[in-house]
Chain A
């Protein structure tokens, strides 16, 4: 933990620029009639933005391995939750809505 390198101002601003460009891309692409692909593209862009924030702004790149492990696990667990929940919903007969 000691002696953590100090990031350059340029790198921080470059990441902000990348985040805003990705935001613009996400917003622009959502205007196109891409159907379910829009969801996929939006999710991929969001994951890219989140990784930038995690690695650069939250400094995971130079963090202790334990912190990185907790970070990976904390995001892997909800993914597992969603995957298993969807696995249930996609493989059984759905009840009709009560309206």
Chain B
């Protein structure tokens, strides 16, 4: 597709547009690999702590908002689909539709952040923030504190990624609306979509690890 990219837009180190696109995609996948490793370490810490303090993690998870977490997951999954359709639409030269879809995807990202902010607020009120406002007592209070420490590190870094994704999607939506992209050149939209899918995948694993541990109790 991108082989029809105007010759002037091909950087001098590449033979042609196709090679330039392959390099961009390879770079993005290498970046995704580093991101997976980053979150992988956090999940490894989670697995060890959960193995060590299973009851505390059940109790900690029971304090999280199950309905809110499920809604946030549905929002992210839907936004991932819209980003994929936005890429499809630009491939079909429907730039306006693609821009609108990117805008909606970005808005869903904002909705996710707002819901998560509300969760953080509720947890602050409940005294569940280690080091800032932690008022839990009982035999598993220290283990629950560990659960919430991991919870804030994992969801905090994830939310930071969502925020970056929201900005990227907005920029892509504006550039698409202005006609920067077409079926001849859409690599930045494709790369942004890959990033957004990564944000999705991380959350897919965060959801059962954080919200579903204690819901049966």
Binding site for B on A (CB under 8 A): 1-4, 6-7, 9, 12-13, 15-16, 19-20, 23, 26-27, 30-34, 38-39, 42-43, 45-46, 49-50, 53-54, 56-58, 63-64, 66-67, 70-71, 73-75, 77-78, 81-82, 85-86, 89-90, 94, 97, 99
A31 to B197, CA, bound (A): 28
Contact B84 A74 (CB under 8 A): no
> Total A-B residue pairs with C-beta atoms closer than 8 Å?
149
Contact A12 B81 (CB under 8 A): yes
Contact B81 A13 (CB under 8 A): yes
Given contacts A9-B88, A26-B208, A66-B26, contact A77 B40 (CB under 8 A): yes
Q: How many residues from B make CB contacts under 8 Å with A?
A: 55
Given contacts A1-B18, A12-B88, contact A58 B77 (CB under 8 A): no
Given contacts A1-B22, A16-B81, A70-B29, contact A78 B208 (CB under 8 A): no
Please provide the chain B residues from 84 to 109 with a CB less than 8 Å away from any CB of chain A in the complex: 84-85, 88, 91-92
In the complex, what's the smallest C-beta–C-beta distance from B92 to chain A, in angstroms?
A: 7
Contact B44 A78 (CB under 8 A): yes
Contact B216 A30 (CB under 8 A): yes
Contact A53 B40 (CB under 8 A): no
Given contacts A1-B22, A53-B197, A86-B47, contact A74 B70 (CB under 8 A): no
In the complex, what's the smallest C-beta–C-beta distance from B15 to chain A, in angstroms?
A: 13
A58 to B191, CA, bound (A): 9
Which residues of chain A have C-beta atoms less than 8 A from B207's C-beta? Answer: 23, 26, 46
Binding site for A on B (CB under 8 A): 1-3, 18, 21-22, 25-26, 29-30, 32-33, 36-37, 39-41, 43-44, 47-48, 51-53, 66, 70, 73-74, 77-78, 80-81, 83-85, 88, 91-92, 142-143, 193-194, 197, 200-201, 204-205, 207-208, 211-213, 215-217
Contact B52 A89 (CB under 8 A): yes
Contact B47 A19 (CB under 8 A): no
CB < 8 Å: which of B29, B77, B85, B92 contacts A23? B77
A94 to B215, CA, bound (A): 28
CB < 8 Å: which of A20, A38, A85 contacts B74? A20
Contact A4 B1 (CB under 8 A): yes
